[in-house]
Every structure is written in structure tokens, then in C-alpha cells.
Amino acid sequence: MPEIRKEITKGLWTILAPTRGERPFDFSSESGSKTDKEVDPNCPFCPGNESETPSEVSSIRTEKEDETSWMVRVFPNKFPALDSEGSSAVIEGDVFKSMGGLGYHEVLAETPRHDRELVDLSVEELELVIRTYLNRFRDLSEKPKIKYVSIFKNRGRQAGASLEHSHSQIMGTTFLPKMLQQEYDLAESYRNESGSCLYCDVIRAEKREEARVVLENDAFIVICPYGSRFPYETRVLPKRHSSVFSDLSNEERNQLSAALKRTLSALTERLGSFPYNFTFHTAPYGLSGGEPESEMSYHWHLEIMPRITTPAGFEWGTDNFINIVSPEKAAEELRRQVT
Amino acid sequence: MPEIRKEITKGLWTILAPTRGERPFDFSSESGSKTDKEVDPNCPFCPGNESETPSEVSSIRTEKEDETSWMVRVFPNKFPALDSEGSSAVIEGDVFKSMGGLGYHEVLAETPRHDRELVDLSVEELELVIRTYLNRFRDLSEKPKIKYVSIFKNRGRQAGASLEHSHSQIMGTTFLPKMLQQEYDLAESYRNESGSCLYCDVIRAEKREEARVVLENDAFIVICPYGSRFPYETRVLPKRHSSVFSDLSNEERNQLSAALKRTLSALTERLGSFPYNFTFHTAPYGLSGGEPESEMSYHWHLEIMPRITTPAGFEWGTDNFINIVSPEKAAEELRRQVT
């Protein structure tokens, strides 16, 4: 059974999940390049193998009756970091604090095709993935005790993926992640001091300077952040001030799909088939409550982190970063690849 | 020229160091296992190749006259993340803040032998390494503008090392690292509330519970932390309350060498030849000023982080961790290997 423990000297929660260690790995090569089969009979995420995953929680299908005719499919992680049947009991010692391992950990198969990556999907197919993120974000946010829903993707073995079939993960946690709490606090302080949204001001400044802008469309702007931690780190931000991911309009959902497609394509043109993580950063769904969304200081966005270098002792010992590619160089190279 | 930039949405500094990207890699195999030569003529850190590194800044030698007869040798990093001749000018924009790349980045060759790892050194040889850490810590701490000195080691390619000859790194920075600031703040809050040192209280609790203690000697205790972020994460703490690493007595320096030798040996027995980072966490040298050292709330220590799993989207998107090996299991397995 998982357990959530406080690392009291660093002010963060660690999830202890021994059963995660039992999960299978299927990468056929060290570099993480895939077989070219449309369906891999040994892949638990491929159509026809639905019985190898826990029961589906959500899907988008072309034909309602056929189990294998899904476009996007969500199911609980077979080797979950958190347990939907777990306890939420809190044990408060003087220096040792823990919580039961209650939480949700789902897998989203982004395409039935084993031979496709997220970047290979059409804008229309990507839009189904994003629609499903929104569905799971809302649904898990409304579960009792859940404080935050993390939506993320690990692509490639070097980025921590264990299975090669293109997928994302969704975790609902009973704690607010440390990074989000810090981002909320910084956004709130900034607004208290300046009267404006930190992220809206960053967008204005990036548009003025141009050097770190990769692309934009009507609703989104994509930049390599000024203080980028990783080479080719890329951030996708809504141009309209919006705190919660699920406040996307239908039109904005289409625009996000288009911006993501162009961004992943440019990164792939520049870096080849590259390992990466991406994570949505958002205010919690429930946070808005009665308050008008526009009154909240946070500004949701997507962070894409190519994993082509290895964070080492300096990074793990300081929480600061050494980045060997300037964001101006990264953005300039990516702009050349944007179509 | 390096530059230091504020990541304003996350409250951290990033070092942009494009020349770091030019450094060579010499690992002879993917697993990072080394050649068995005592001296590798192609290795810039081996005796006889002293001219391939920038001029030595410190060393311990058996014979003063012979350039190649060193036991431990420190020199500036040829591909530094920071520049000892750099500027410390601060540029304060509304959302873009930067500092010049002033700082120090040194390499410490821990042994002349290419075929030895840190764990292979005798306690006496390790003591020379620690004596040299202390020398560099004091020396760089006293340089103008330097706010913190990070001492760390990257062992193995998966842990971010680029050269296989056993070495550590020392960086003097014009900013206090984010993780250290947070640790100081948490230790200070804890003392204000409870009247005692957080780390001393953790040591007392760990000794009472026993389950996470790996070993101890007169001056040091080694534990797998209650909220361990990584499998087999291990922490070496002085049992006497002490804030600054350089306040070690000679006897404590010997005891630290012995504790480190036993800890690395136990980890190697359990994990084989494993990639790891370690980092010293200390109050800044200058911080004590006139104040009695015992009055400071922080408690220096060494953190050893085996890199046998890959932090992924959840970790990089939240600053929380999923750990698949409980610290009780890790400590129990390591205790069995301790000699």
C-alpha cells in the first residue's frame, strides 16, 4: 500500500509506492525508438489487449459497441503510485508526518496506434487527447479529499517512461504539490505589488523582446522561458488571463491543439526523436469557487521539458540549474522549424 | 560568458553556461564501468596530463618537487559553469532579472589512480579528500561576492558525470541556492516553535525507532531519511549540533571519512557499481560571524542520492517525488552490508 510522507527538512511530500517497482519495461532499444507495428500484440495499451489493463474509466470511440474501436482511452494505472481505495488518515509525529496513500493514478492512451507518437497525431486527434485531459481533470478534481490533479507525459526511457505506446498520466493527490504552491505564492505576491498578473506581464515582455518567442496563434503563445532550466525548455501559455485549465473554451481547445502540434513538430525537427516530459500547471479546479476566475492571480500553462541533458549533483543539491543552451538560441532554432 | 538568470515564476536562479556544452565525454561503456588501467594516457585528470587542465589551485603531494606525485589535486574546471573573471553586475527588469556570471567552478581529482572509485580509497585517502573539501570551502567562501559554496560529486554517466576519473566539483556562487534557503527557513521556523534543532530532533527520533539507521560511529550517524525522495537515499549527519561544515575537528574529519567509506561500501555491496550524486549541505562559512556557531539553527550534513531510477514528469512538474523503495527496506538491506 502506498504511503505519503513529509520530508520535513525540505518541506515536500514523498509518495512511497513499492509496487511501482514491479512495472514492466518494453523499450525495444536503448534510444527508445519504437517498432513500426501499428499494433503490438505484446503491448498492454494496444487495441485488443484491453483486458490487460484495469477497467476503462473514460474513452472516445468511433463505434460505441466495439471494445477495440477507441481513439483515446483512460484506465487506472496497473502499478499505481496512489490508491483510490486508500486511507487519507494523517499521522502527525513531532518530526515524522505521514498520510495514507489515497489518490488517483490513471493512464491515458493517446492513440490506438503503437507506431505513433503524440507529435504524429493530427490537430483533430490531439484535440481528443486534450478534451480527455479536461474530462479527467474535472472528474478527479471533484473526488473527495483531492487537492490537485497533475496531468503529465513521460516520453522515452530517458524521460522516465516505462512503456513505449504513446500515453500520458493523470494523478489526483491529497496534497497540493510543492512547486504549484510556490508558483501560486509568487504570482500572488507579484500581483499584490504590481497590480497585474506575473504571467500576463511576462507575455507582454516576451512579445516586446521577440527573441524567445517560438510561435503564437490567436489564443496561445509559445516561448523558451527567460530563465529556462533545461535546453529547449518550452512553455505554452494562454494569451487570455485564465487560472484554471478547464476554463478553456471550445475554440481555445482547438487553438491549444494546434499550438501543441506545431511546438512538438518544431522540437522534433530540431532534436530528432527526443525524450521529454511535459506537465500542465494550473490553479485547482475547485479553487475558483464563487470567485470570478479572472480575479485569481495564477495563470495556467503547459511546460515542455526536453530531457537531453542529465541534471546532476548541482541541480539535486541546490534546486538551481545549469543550462548549456540559451533560450534565445533555442527559440531561434525552433522558429526556423515552425510551419 | 555565463550569465545567471532569475526564473521569476519559480523563484530560482538558472546558470546559462553555453561553453559547458563543449565538454568531452569519455565513458567507455554505457554502464559507466571503467577501464582497469592505473593511468589512462587519454584522461585529462590522470598524472602526467597536468598540463591539460587549467593551473592547479590546491593539492596534497607526497613529494613537493614532482608535478605528478599528487594524492589529491584541485584545478579550475576547463568548461566552467561560472567565471572567476566574470561580472557581478545585476540587471533588474520588471520580469527579467539577471546577474553576471561571476563565480568559481573547480574540479577535485580524488585519486591519481584512473582505476579507482571513491569507494575504493582507504579511510586515510578519503580523509585527504575531505581535508581538501574543507580547504576549498574556506578559500572560496572568502572570495568577494560569494554567498555559498556547493561541494558535490557526480559518479557515473547516469548521474551526469562526463569524465570517468573519480572526481568531485566545487562551485562558489553569488546567490544562495534555493534548496539551502528553504532548508534554513524550515530549520529556523522549527527552532522558533520547538526550541530545538530540527536535525538533532530527527537524529534522536531515528535512534529511537532504529528502522532507518544504517550505521553510526562516535561522531556521525547515517540514515535513510523518513521521506526519502530516491531509492537508497542516504544522509550522513554529525551527531553534535554543528551548522557549518568547516567546524569539523580533526577527529571528526577522521570519523566522517570512516562513516563515508562504510556507507559507500554498503551501497556498492547492495547496488553494485551504481551511479550517484552526493552534495554537502551547510550553513555558509561566513554566516557564523561573531555569533556562536551553536546558536545557529541549521545542521550541516551530506546527502547521497543513488540515481537508479529516473525522475519524470511528476517530479519535474511538482517538486514532489515517487519513491519505489521504502527507507526502512533500504536501511535494512544496507545494514546487512555494513562492515
Q: Using the 3D structure, point to which of A175, A190, A219 is the last residue of a domain.
A: A175
Count of CB contacts below 8 A, A vs B? 262
- Residues A229, B7: C-beta atoms closer than 8 Å: yes
Determine the distance in angstroms separating the CA of A292 from the nearest CA of chain B, rounded to an integer.
23
Per the structure, the complete domain to which residue B184 belongs is given by: 179-337
* Minimum Cα–Cα distance from B327: chain A residue: A16
CA distances B164 to A27, A83, A285, B286, Å, are 27, 41, 48, 34
A201: chain B residues, CB-CB within 8 Å:
94-95
Region label for A128, one of left (φ > 0), alpha (ψ between -120 and 50) or beta (otherwise): alpha
pLDDT in tens, A283-322: 999 754 445 555 689 999 999 999 999 999 999 999 999 9
Do A199 and A186 share a structural domain?
A: yes
The three cell numbers locating residue A32? 527508445
Do A113 and A54 share a structural domain?
A: yes
Do B157 and B76 share a structural domain?
A: yes
Burial of B120 (0-12, 13-18, 19+ CB in 10 A): middle
Do A84 and A169 share a structural domain?
A: yes
> Chain centroid to CA B156: how far?
14
* Minimum Cα–Cα distance from A325: chain B residue: B18
Q: List, in sequence order, every beta strand (DSSP E) within chain B.
A: 3-7, 12-16, 58-61, 70-76, 90-92, 97-100, 103-109, 148-155, 167-173, 213-216, 220-223, 234-238, 276-281, 301-306, 321-323
Nearest to A15 among B152, B226, B321 (CB): B321
Nearest to A13 among B169, B177, B320 (CB): B320
Q: Are B133 and B168 in contact (CB under 8 A)?
A: yes
Do B183 and B171 share a structural domain?
A: no
End-to-end CA distance of chain B: 48
Tell me, what's the pLDDT at A28? 63
Per-residue pLDDT tens digits of chain A, which is 339 residues long: 899 999 999 999 999 999 887 788 777 654 445 667 899 999 999 999 999 999 999 999 987 778 889 999 999 999 999 999 999 999 998 899 999 999 999 999 999 999 999 999 999 999 999 999 999 999 999 999 999 999 999 999 999 999 999 999 999 999 999 999 999 999 999 999 999 999 999 999 999 999 999 999 999 999 999 999 999 999 999 999 999 999 999 999 999 999 999 999 999 999 999 999 999 999 999 754 445 555 689 999 999 999 999 999 999 999 999 999 999 999 999 999 998
pLDDT in tens, A183-198: 999 999 999 999 999 9
Please give the ipTM for the structure prediction. 0.95
* Minimum Cα–Cα distance from A300: chain B residue: B9
- Residues A11, B186: C-beta atoms closer than 8 Å: yes
Distance CA(A137)–CA(B172), nearest Å, equals: 43
Distance CA(A90)–CA(A99), nearest Å, equals: 4
Q: Enumerate residues 6+ apart whose C-beta is below 8 A from A74.
A: A56, A57, A58, A59, A106, A107, A108, A109, A132, A136, A170
- Residues B15, A325: C-beta atoms closer than 8 Å: no
Do B231 and B278 share a structural domain?
A: yes
Packing angle, helices B250-271 and B327-337, rounded to 10: 100
What Rg do the C-alpha atoms of chain A give, in angstroms? 20
Tell me, what's the pLDDT at B29? 52
Q: Position of cell 551548522?
A: B243
Q: Are A170 and A106 in contact (CB under 8 A)?
A: yes
Tell me, what's the pLDDT at B312? 96
Which site among B174, B314, B329 would you substitute to test the A interface, given the most A Cβ atoms closer than 10 Å to its Cβ? Answer: B314
Mean pLDDT calculated for residue range B116-138? 98
DSSP summary character for residue B94: S
The three cell numbers locating residue A61? 470511440
- Residues A154, B94: C-beta atoms closer than 8 Å: no
Do B209 and B146 share a structural domain?
A: no
Determine the distance in angstroms separating the CA of A63 from the nearest CA of chain B, rounded to an integer.
33
- Residues B320, A15: C-beta atoms closer than 8 Å: yes
Nearest to A322 among B10, B17, B199 (CB): B17
Q: Enumerate residues 6+ apart whose C-beta is below 8 A from A42.
A: A26
pLDDT in tens, A112-145: 999 999 999 999 999 999 999 999 999 999 999 9
Phi, psi of A334 (to 5 degrees): -70, -40
CATH number (domain holding residue A39): 3.30.428.10
DSSP summary character for residue B104: E
Candidates A210, A212, A221; CA nearest to A331 is: A212
Region label for B216, one of left (φ > 0), alpha (ψ between -120 and 50) or beta (otherwise): beta
End-to-end CA distance of chain A: 48
Distance CA(B223)–CA(B237), nearest Å, equals: 8
CA distances A99 to A4, A50, B55, Å, are 5, 33, 53
Do A132 and A51 share a structural domain?
A: yes
Distance CA(B92)–CA(B70), nearest Å, equals: 45
Nearest to B20 among A9, A190, A324 (CB): A324
Q: Are B268 and B262 in contact (CB under 8 A)?
A: no
Q: What is the count of structural domains for chain B?
A: 2
H-helix or E-strand containing B265? helix B250-271
B30: chain A residues, CB-CB within 8 Å:
30
Nearest to B96 among A179, A190, A205 (CB): A205
Tell me, what's the pLDDT at A33? 54
Q: List, in sequence order, every beta strand (DSSP E) within chain A.
A: 3-7, 12-16, 58-61, 70-76, 90-92, 97-100, 103-109, 148-155, 167-173, 213-216, 220-223, 234-238, 276-281, 301-306, 321-323
Distance CA(B193)–CA(A8), nearest Å, equals: 14
* Minimum Cα–Cα distance from B150: chain A residue: A314
Q: Enumerate residues 6+ apart whose C-beta is below 8 A from B208.
A: none
- Residues A317, B326: C-beta atoms closer than 8 Å: no
Q: Using the 3D structure, point to which of A175, A201, A229 is the last residue of a domain.
A: A175
* Cβ count near B165 (within 10 Å): 24
- Residues B229, A201: C-beta atoms closer than 8 Å: no
Stated pTM of the model: 0.95
**Type of residue at B195:** G
Candidates A46, A219, A60, A57; CA nearest to A128 is: A60
Do B247 and B156 share a structural domain?
A: no
Tell me, what's the pLDDT at A34? 65
Nearest to B201 among A95, A202, A225 (CB): A95
Do A310 and A183 share a structural domain?
A: yes
Do A276 and A290 share a structural domain?
A: yes
Give per-residue burial for A245-272: e unless 16+ CB within 10 Å, then b. Answer: bbbbeeebbbbbbbbbbbbbbbbbeebe
pLDDT in tens, B139-193: 999 999 999 999 999 999 999 999 999 999 999 999 999 999 999 999 999 999 9
Determine the distance in angstroms separating the CA of B19 from the nearest CA of chain A, rounded to an integer.
7
Do B165 and B183 share a structural domain?
A: no
The three cell numbers locating residue B12? 530560482
Distance CA(A273)–CA(B203), nearest Å, equals: 47
Nearest to B322 among A8, A81, A226 (CB): A81
Give per-residue burial for A28-57: e unless 16+ CB within 10 Å, then b. Answer: eeeebebeeeeebeebbbbbebbeebeeeb
Tell me, what's the pLDDT at B45? 97
Tell me, what's the pLDDT at A36? 78
Packing angle, helices B250-271 and B123-141, rounded to 10: 120
**Type of residue at B43:** C
* Minimum Cα–Cα distance from B203: chain A residue: A95
Q: Using the 3D structure, point to which of A154, A175, A196 is the last residue of a domain.
A: A175
Tell me, what's the pLDDT at A106? 98
Name the 3-class secondary structure at B90. strand
Which site among A1, A3, A6, A10 would you substitute to test the B interface, given the most B Cβ atoms closer than 10 Å to its Cβ? Answer: A10
